[in-house]
Amino acid sequence: MTPEPSPVLEFPAWLYGTTAAILRKVRAEGRWWAREYLETGAFPQPRQMRQVPPGEVLVVRPGAEFDLGRTRWWIHMLPEVFMDLNEGVPKEERQRMRESFESFCLSTPWGALYHAVSPPPPRSAERMANRLASVLRFWEVLQGPRYAFWFGKKYTLEELMDDIYRNTLEAWCPGGPASVREHLSLTVERMARATREDCLEAVLRVMPLVVEANTDLKHREVLSDPDFLRERLSALPPERFEDFSSASKYAVNGQLYAWDRELGRH
């Protein structure tokens, strides 16, 4: 049974400290989780939790804080757990284990936050709808901290989600609610039931905005052409399109740069 959100925000204690200390602890936690998974087929809650006071700063992106020896909440270091999560797990079982681990993470506020801020691939509409729905479930308790995403800036939860997903929200729900939370909720509903054509239209709306922001692209005019984009997107294998069918601006970046390099070879 999925636990109900706690009114007090708690994160794994090993994400608090200096980056060097966290690196040692998080990898040890990965090995422990691997052993637990092999024994039980599930992941228990972290062995030690630490309360996150209101207003506490959580570093959620590399480069948002340069003093790596400072005692902080370094949330972006959570992926280091994957270095040892595979330990002892048979190769054929690893994909299922990672799926199980993501489901476990999404039942927690710290896991939901990570999978929204730094979602690992694939970033399909179905998968991102599930991840963003988890953030919405923990919205109230996640409003307490402040988030370091860009250096020198401390975001509220609303500001953080707006920075990361504004273009995506507009791609799925053009002219949606002014409230980020409400706009995100509507987007999740549409993503969750989207057809391939729905995803295609959302991606077509977001790609020109991404091209506009990426000034180092060499073929910006072509990459902003709706006919070019529709033709190229329609020709992609289903599994490749699924990688970014959520229309996340960070997810579509890779495909745009791949096309940019291809255009440069002709």
State how far the Cα of 164 lies from the Cα of 32, in Å rounded to an integer: 32
Q: Is the pLDDT of residue 146 over 90?
A: yes
Strands 10-12 and 72-74: unpaired
Q: Is the pLDDT of residue 50 over 50?
A: yes
Residue 83 is predicted with a pLDDT of 84
Q: Is residue 173 part of a domain?
A: no
Q: Is the pLDDT of residue 128 over 90?
A: yes
| Amino acid letter, 209 | L
Q: Are residues 154 and 200 in the same domain?
A: no
Q: Is the pLDDT of residue 18 over 60?
A: yes
pTM of the model: 0.91
Q: Are residues 156 and 218 in the same domain?
A: no
Q: How many domains, the chain?
A: 2
Q: Is the pLDDT of residue 66 over 90?
A: no
**Residue-range definition of the domain harbouring residue 58:** 10-165+179-192
pLDDT band at 266, cuts 50/70/90? low
Q: Are residues 14 and 104 in the same domain?
A: yes
Q: Is the pLDDT of residue 163 over 90?
A: yes
C-alpha dihedral sign at 239, 240, 244, 245: negative
pLDDT in tens, 74-103: 999 999 888 888 888 888 988 999 999 999
Average pLDDT score, the chain: 92
- Tell me what percent of the residues of the chain surpass a pLDDT of 70: 97
